[in-house]
Amino acid sequence: MPIHTCHILSHERLSGDVYRLKFVSEPICRGAQPGQFVHIRADVQSDPLLPRPFSIHDIDREVMGVEILFQVVGSGTRILSSKRKGESIEVLGPLGRGFGVDHERRISVLVAGGIGLAPFPFLIKRLRESGHSVFVLAGWKTVEEIVGLERIESSGASVDVATEDGRRGSCGTVTKLLNTRLRAGDFGSESEIGLYACGPGAMLATVAHMARQYNVPCQVSLEERMACGVGACYGCAVLAADRENACPEYKLVCKDGPVFDMNEVCLK
Ligand SMILES: Cc1cc2nc3c(=O)[nH]c(=O)nc-3n(C[C@H](O)[C@H](O)[C@H](O)COP(=O)(O)OP(=O)(O)OC[C@H]3O[C@@H](n4cnc5c(N)ncnc54)[C@H](O)[C@@H]3O)c2cc1C
Ligand code: FES
């Protein structure tokens, strides 16, 4: 797969350390599926040498734009945050396996923790095009951390927020909110619900646990540190969930995922 040199169309700071960047790439825009990711190197001249993975946040077919939503956590994301409109970045993608649209289950419940919201605008578009009712539950620790929500709110999905400081939406974690809504039957018949989750590992494990309790299918998007991004280095291996097998098996997050059925991998 070729590396594309892509021009930055827009780059905005949404909050203290979170940015939304849009670059032009016709092949990625045409080929991408929700939940897939792109591997980006912000600066060919400097560190870090390795590209960094980011979920495809949204696509804009009118201008062949591809968007990412990212949080600055280290040197790679810091360099990316300093890029300006008109400059170029090196992009490999679209990579990995994205979310599958479950046509049997037309009530889609999307659960996000923090920056885990990133892949959802694109997924919501695809689900709504397929005629699904879409509910989004999004959680943050504090109200100050809330970011990227306006895109979700204008997407036609029904949106519910949870904050652990209780200053917006429901007080507590997003998984507590999910449990409350599932128990109350707020989304409709359980036999029509499909769950899609992206966020920290512990959140994904809890969502999967609830999905089993309520007998609904669940897809989870995993994050692992990556090097090659294309299945060559085995740097992103996670334990597969085949507990019957004495010899442990592994899945590659970059190639077999990042989206997995909850029963395919060990969630922790
Ligand atoms: C498939 C995939 C999709 C992703 N999508 C997004 C996205 O849409 N938006 C976004 O903000 N981030 C996303 N990430 C995470 C993002 O890739 C990392 O934050 C980024 O690579 C950090 O690079 P850095 O050089 O700034 O930080 P580094 O200097 O490499 O690391 C800084 C700190 O972050 C930790 N860290 C780095 N990468 C990861 C990781 N993958 N998982 C857990 N901890 C990590 C390190 O252990 C270290 O503590 C995604 C990761 C994957 C694997
Ligand atoms: S990052 Fe190299 S195999 Fe996944």
Q: What are phi and psi of 33, to 5 degrees?
A: -115, 150
| pLDDT tens string 162-194 | 999 999 999 999 999 999 999 999 999 999 999
Residue whose CB lies within 8 A of the most ligand 2 atoms, among 40, 233, 251, for a mutation test: 233
Among candidate residues 243, 241, 113, 209, the one with its CA nearest the CA of residue 251: 241
| pLDDT tens string 145-155 | 999 999 999 99
pTM of the model: 0.95
The torsion defined by the Cα of 59, 65, 68 and 72, in degrees rounded to 10, comes to -170
User: Distances from the Cα of 210 to the Cαs of 47, 68, 128, in angstroms?
Assistant: 42, 29, 24
Q: At which of 72, 95, 118 does a domain end?
A: 95
For residues 4 and 11, the model is more confident at 11
| pLDDT tens string 189-236 | 999 999 999 999 999 999 999 999 999 999 999 999 999 999 999 999
Shared domain check, 116 and 68: no
Residue whose CB lies within 8 A of the most ligand 1 atoms, among 223, 251, 254, 255, for a mutation test: 223
Shared domain check, 115 and 32: no
**From CA 140, how far away is CA 161, in angstroms rounded?**
8
Shared domain check, 216 and 111: yes
CATH assignment at residue 56: 2.40.30.10
118 lines ligand 1 (CB under 6 A): yes
Specify if 124 maps to a domain: yes
Shared domain check, 122 and 21: no
Question: Domains in the chain: how many in total?
Answer: 2
Shared domain check, 124 and 209: yes
- CA nearest ligand 1 atom 5, residue: 54
Specify if 66 maps to a domain: yes
CATH assignment at residue 121: 3.40.50.80
Tokens (6 digits) for 17: 């350390």
Specify if 234 maps to a domain: no
